[in-house]
A = this chain, B = another copy of it.
Amino acid sequence: MVDKEPLPSWNNGAPKSAILGFVERVTTDGGAEFVPPAERIATFDNDGTLCCEQPLQMQFFFLFDRVKEFAGKDPALSGRQPFKAVLEHDYSTLFGLGREALLELVFATHAGITDEEFDQFARGWLASAKHPRFDRLHKECVYRPQLELLAYLREHGFKTYIVTGSGIDFIRAFADEVYGIPREQVIGSSAKLRYDVTDRGEASLMKLPELNNFNDRDAKPLNIGLHIGRRPALVFGNSDGDLPMIRYAKSGRGPRLALLLHHDDAEREAAYDREFRLSPLAEALDKAEEYGITRVSMKRDWKEVF
């Protein structure tokens, strides 16, 4: 396969060379590091790796807008936590309330409907909801260099997956349109489902207010095992939550490439790592060299961001 200027939004440098060299080696039939197409699995974290997660991950904006909608119908909500904090934009209080409070918000707004109904709500929101800073739709706050990389990998026989802490149904609502990744190649956090059949014989899947799986840290490789059943050949993350899937991939025999996006570009997007409470980057940064992870600097390595 001949590519004229692959990855045009990537600056020349160590990460771009590492990607191009890796893809060339694993796709060279007869080469020492050839990887059969069936084993060319690439897994990407979503928030902060494929799209902007500042000031909050996209699903929080969706969640908060749903809470506002619900509070409009049920004014009593505005008097009690965790709803009060959302309605008052008091995120410091909100995140101080802890995991159970966040789950209460999620279940209040994401459960009691079928997965297909949820998909409609999410698509409706995604069609018009804008990022507070970038004056573009949330679903357009995705990184151009990463879209190029996903397409480049697919052109070279890779199957591209998202492995995200965000909700599987939420990410599925735009992954195909935005990233070219089909629903079945999205692995995410999930609620339990119930199989329902109506009196008229219509079967559907009801989203329940109960966590099935929070797909972060160790859960990422565990869910890769469940959904894919292979170690990824290439893995791309941006936080400590991605470290277990990175180490799982790198522990496999044969060539593996692990990449870590470092947000060091306050001017074009954001500069953060250790102090970002929702998804910190500390251990992965400190151990990148030891674990054989290629660090990608947004500022240095990306010609364009969006």
**Beta-carbon contact of B226 and A190 below 8 Å:** yes
With known contacts A168-B226, A229-B115, A218–B195 Cβ distance under 8 A: yes
Taking CB atoms, residues of chain B closer than 8 Å to A41 are 184
A2 at the interface (CB under 8 A from B): no
Q: Once the chains are docked, how many angstroms separate the CA of A131 from the CA of B228?
A: 29
Taking CB atoms, residues of chain B closer than 8 Å to A168 are 226, 229
A177-197 contacts to B, CB under 8 A, are: 182-184, 186, 190, 193-195, 197
**Beta-carbon contact of B229 and A176 below 8 Å:** no
User: Interface residue count for A (Cβ, 8 Å)?
Assistant: 38
With known contacts A203-B248, A203-B251, A247-B203, A193–B229 Cβ distance under 8 A: no
A268 at the interface (CB under 8 A from B): no
Q: Once the chains are docked, how many angstroms separate the CA of A197 from the CA of B225?
A: 15
10 interchain residue pairs of minimum CB distance: A183-B229, A195-B218, A203-B251, A203-B247, A205-B225, A184-B228, A203-B248, A202-B251, A193-B222, A172-B229
Q: Could you jot down 16 A-B contacts, CB within 8 Å?
A: A38-B182, A172-B229, A183-B229, A186-B229, A193-B222, A193-B225, A195-B218, A195-B222, A195-B244, A201-B247, A201-B251, A203-B244, A203-B250, A205-B225, A205-B248, A212-B226
